[in-house]
Amino acid sequence: MSAPATVSDPSLATRTRSVLVRRAAAFVLDVAFALVVALLFAIPDVAKERFFGFGLLLGGLYLLFRDGLPLAALSGRSIGKRMLWLLPIRLGGTTMDLKTSAKRNWTVALMLLFPGLANLALGYRQIVLAGNIGVNDALLGLFALLLLVEIVLVLVDPVARRIGDRLAETRVIEG
């Protein structure tokens, strides 16, 4: 058995850039899956408007726990990562679990969890902060900024670790 990977492992750093495009595509696939889940609850005449909030919540929960779901078919990775042969690993060498996945993915999951909770609590009503800017608009702007920071970190970090990877002590490798 080989030693666990470390952040400074040069063999990981040399392969990192080759993984970036597939990592971005896996993210798009995972977000698309989460949005499809959310939209299933928004089909007109099938569900009341608050069920859309429930769908957003389910999609957000998928994004939060996607890398630690105890499903043999996924092998400790999200649907997108599984499709594109990527594997999130813990730097200590142990397998991914729900807690580690939540630490790793909270920045992305908030994009659907907060609007989902707001929709369940308020329906489609918009709380206006100032002028034409509502709470949902402000949250969307914050999440877009956070996502931009995550993307920049992946691009500038020598081993492509984002905020979630640093908090959860994880990396994404080919696998």
Q: pLDDT digits over 157-167, tens only? A: 888 889 999 99
Going by the DSSP 8-state scheme, the letter that residue 140 receives in this structure is H
Residue 56 CB neighbour total at 10 angstroms:
27
What is the CB-side half-sphere exposure of residue 22 using CA atoms within 13 A?
A: 19
The domain spans of the chain are 10-174
Residue 4: partners with Cβ closer than 8 Å, 6 or more residues away: 91, 92, 93
Element (H, E) at 133: strand 133-134
- Of 26-35, 40-49, 81-90, 166-175, give the lowest mean pLDDT range: 40-49
Residue 81 CB neighbour total at 10 angstroms:
25
Higher-scoring residue by pLDDT: 153, 4: 153
Residue 128 backbone zone (phi > 0: left; psi -120 to 50: alpha; other: beta): beta
Q: pLDDT digits over 76-132, tens only? A: 899 999 999 999 999 988 889 999 999 999 988 988 888 788 777 776 566 666 666
Higher-scoring residue by pLDDT: 156, 11: 156
Higher-scoring residue by pLDDT: 81, 40: 81
144 pLDDT band, cuts 50/70/90, is: confident
